[in-house]
Amino acid sequence: IVANSEFDTIAAISTPVGEGGISIIRISGSAALAVANQLIKGPDLTQVASHTINYGHLIDPTTAEEVDEVMVSVMLAPRTYTKEDVVEINCHGGLLATNRTLQLVLSHGARLAEPGEFTKRAFLNGRLDLSQAEAVMDLIRAKTDQSMQVALNQLDGDLSRLIKRLRQDILDVLAQVEVNIDYPEYDAVEEMTSQMLKEKAQSVKQHLVALLQSAKQGKVLRDGLATAIIGRPNVGKSSLLNTLLHEDKAIVTNVAGTTRDVIEEYVNVNGVPLRLIDTAGIRQTDDQVEKIGVARSKQALDAADLVLLLLDSSRELTGEDRALIEATAAKPRIVILNKTDLPSQIDASQVQAMIGDAPLLKTSITDHTGVDQLGALIAHLFFEQGIESHQGEVMVTNARHIGLLSQANEALDEVLRGLAAGMPVDLVQIDMTRCWDLLGEITGDSYQDELLDQLFSQFCLGK
């Protein structure tokens, strides 16, 4: 059942989405400073004076990547619109930058605000009286309806069709529950109803999980598939990186790594955006300085969506090669036998046996053989076999939709937990209704009244 979240920390885009050069993400609540401080490189926001605007960089703390250049307003309670601590991040406008900033805020401790919720807080915290609040709400509603329309227009037709279907499914089961609750004298009916709810919750959940997965792929399309180039020293890692970079006619950005040990480059290979990470080589070492580089490489491997593991075919397989084959076993990987222009010292079928199903490719980077096949193979893995991929699935990239989908998914978890704990069906039904409601917010059809009307029109006949 819903937790009381009246006074948790909320956030929303407070400028019209997609317009203008600057967007503002507003955060309100006792954790507002803490949330923002994790994401800003620059001044320590907990130390700056109230009602100041501060220059800094927005970073993604999980990758330390700089996302945007921002101005951050800090306004401490109680002299603020909500009477709570308020932080406003002014980031670059445009859908992607704004969404990304909002997503970072939402994944670091804030909850997506409902339309009008900042004003509701101002009212609840005694800053506005009811008539003032209502006036502001009307204004907001007019604005929200407009941006709602924009959001609806952006809605992928497939997404909205799928959501509508899921909602209809939920509605059918809710209606059935409603009917069954009227016959409490039959225990068997209660049991049947629970079973029905459980099956429905599970099937809807499958769809939501797939949609949330697709949101991840949306992220891949924006950020690049994290691809680690791994291999012991001298196998040709840097040569491969340079070749791929040289092939690409449209390099988006070049980001030099923070140390000489790891270099990151963005490159488009056969339509797949890759964030290539050339590592210093993962291996045992006693040397202190080298250890740092090795640790970084291990991190790169952990974070990788795809591994390109290079072996030198002109040398016999070493213990280090074997260790790397083992270390990368859990990752989607392509194993590359490089330097095939030189006399071979490696038995390809032996390597294939060690790597199981993973593709094995022969290349000579100096002769430029096998490089085109590598591109084709990466595209195949991404688009057809789906490293992280869900081709044919609906794709979700909008932060608001992602937030609502994961909340709807949580409501289903509640349903399933409640059923497993033997909770009465009419209580479980509340969470199922909440799921229906949240999904409706995505398509803009969420009205409790509609639910009541539909239930009524379907089942009042003959009663």
Nearer to ligand GDP, 234 or 253 (CB): 234
Nearer to ligand GDP, 150 or 327 (CB): 327
- DSSP helix/strand/coil, 358: coil
**Minimum distance from residue 342 beta carbon to ligand GDP (Å):** 5
Strand 360-362 with 306-312, pairing? unpaired
**Minimum distance from residue 274 beta carbon to ligand GDP (Å):** 17
**Minimum distance from residue 276 beta carbon to ligand GDP (Å):** 12
268 binds ligand GDP (CB under 6 A): no
Residue ranges of E strands in 322-394? 333-338, 360-362
- DSSP helix/strand/coil, 335: strand
Indicate the residue type of 116. Answer: G
The Cα 125–Cα 140 span in angstroms is 19
Q: How many residues bind ligand GDP (CB under 6 A)?
A: 15
342 binding partner (options Zn ion, ligand GDP, none; Cβ < 5 to 8 Å by kind): ligand GDP
365 binding partner (options ligand GDP, Zn ion, none; Cβ < 5 to 8 Å by kind): ligand GDP
66 binding partner (options ligand GDP, Zn ion, none; Cβ < 5 to 8 Å by kind): none
- 254 in a labelled binding site: yes
- 235 in a labelled binding site: yes
Strand 262-269 with 254-259, pairing? antiparallel
Residue closest to 208 by CA, chosen among 450, 445, 393, 16: 393
The Cα 435–Cα 433 span in angstroms is 5
> In the complex, which residue's CB is closest to Zn ion?
238
The Cα 74–Cα 241 span in angstroms is 43
**Minimum distance from residue 232 beta carbon to Zn ion (Å):** 11
- DSSP helix/strand/coil, 17: coil
What are the beta bridge partners of residue 209?
none
Nearer to ligand GDP, 249 or 260 (CB): 260
The Cα 92–Cα 293 span in angstroms is 34
- The DSSP output letter for 423 is -
Nearer to Zn ion, 231 or 359 (CB): 231
Nearer to ligand GDP, 92 or 339 (CB): 339
Binding to ligand GDP (CB under 6 A) within 216-245 occurs at 231, 233-239
CB atoms closer than 10 angstroms to residue 450: 14
- 167 in a labelled binding site: no
Do residues 56 and 72 make contact, with C-beta atoms less than 8 angstroms apart?
A: yes
364 binds ligand GDP (CB under 6 A): yes
**Minimum distance from residue 238 beta carbon to ligand GDP (Å):** 3
Task: Select the span of 59-67, 246-254, 339-347, 430-438 touching ligand GDP (CB under 6 A).
Answer: 339-347
Binding to Zn ion (CB under 5 A) within 237-256 occurs at 237-238
333 binding partner (options Zn ion, ligand GDP, none; Cβ < 5 to 8 Å by kind): none
- The DSSP output letter for 191 is H
Burial 352-386 (b: 16+ CB within 10 A, else e): eebbeebbbbbbbbeeeebbeebbebbeebbeeee
Residue closest to 24 by CA, chosen among 115, 144, 138, 105: 105
351 binds ligand GDP (CB under 6 A): no
- 358 in a labelled binding site: no
Nearer to Zn ion, 211 or 310 (CB): 310
- The DSSP output letter for 232 is S
Residue ranges of E strands in 162-242? 225-230
Binding to ligand GDP (CB under 6 A) within 90-119 occurs at none
- What are the residues binding ligand GDP (CB under 6 A)? 231, 233-239, 338-339, 341-342, 364-366
Annotation: binding site for (6S)-5-formyl-5,6,7,8-tetrahydrofolate: 26, 88, 127, 463
Annotation: binding site for Mg(2+): 238, 259
Annotation: binding site: 26, 88, 127, 234-239, 253-259, 278-281, 463
- What are the residues binding Zn ion (CB under 5 A)? 237-238
